[in-house]
Amino acid sequence: TVENVLLRSVNTALDSVLVAGSVAPVFDGFAPLATAFTSTTYVSIVDAISEGVATMQVAGFAPDLVALNPADWLALNVAKGTDGQYLSGSYLAKLSQEVRGLRVVISPSVTAGKALLMDSAHSELAIVDSFSVEIGTDGNDFTKNLATMLGEIRVIPIFRTTGSARLITPKAA
């Protein structure tokens, strides 16, 4: 149980760092490194993502991944057509982790209403040391019946090419 709680906390922190940065001067985060793209035509996030894909393809990239906020992912999956049927397929069917052929990564660190579109061939997450948990005592913790726990993972985020990521914002309604 302790390991699961620590793993969730470490993964939440890692998600935040990967998307938003905050490890200056080492890594700015994929969102700040991404080229801002505001749709001039589409109000819908899915349509704005499609426009972003086309824009990146014109620039010579092949976007294959989109990071979405959980609220936006939910909105996409519960959207219904005029006939009342779910656009994402049968209600009881397994949800696909794709949007228009792009692999979807759910990230609470992506701002709701925006999407982080990436050509993953130009980015990498090198795992230096896998997740580990260490438990020990410090000072007089032993006599106080206390233990210190450390959960950590060591990674190297790599962003190779400017333009290989776009922070998509739909047109204001």
| Beta-strand relationship, 123-136 and 148-159 | antiparallel
| Residue 24: pLDDT over 90 | no
User: Which pTM value belongs to this model?
Assistant: 0.84
Angle at 33 between CA 29 and CA 38, to 5 degrees: 120
Percent of the chain at pLDDT above 70?
97
- Higher-pLDDT residue of 38, 157: 38
Do 31 and 24 contact (CB within 8 A), yes or no?
Answer: no
Model confidence pLDDT, tens digit, residues 76-118: 988 888 998 888 878 777 878 888 899 999 999 999 999 999 9
Average pLDDT in the chain: 90
Q: Is the peptide bond before 25 cis (omega within 30 degrees of 0)?
A: yes
Q: What is the pLDDT of residue 156?
A: 86
Region 123-128 average pLDDT: 90
Q: What is the pLDDT of residue 59?
A: 96
Model confidence pLDDT, tens digit, residues 46-56: 999 999 999 99
Q: What is the pLDDT of residue 23?
A: 66
**Alpha-carbon separation of residue 161 from 30, 121, 134, 164, 170 (angstroms):** 11, 9, 37, 6, 24
Please write down the long-range contacts of 72-76, taking CB distance under 8 Å and 24 or more positions apart: 72/45, 72/110, 72/112, 72/113, 72/115, 73/104, 73/106, 75/45, 76/45, 76/46
Q: Is 30 exposed, middle or buried (0-12, 13-18, 19+ CB in 10 A)?
A: buried
Model confidence pLDDT, tens digit, residues 135-159: 888 888 888 899 888 888 988 888 8
Q: What is the pLDDT of residue 139?
A: 85
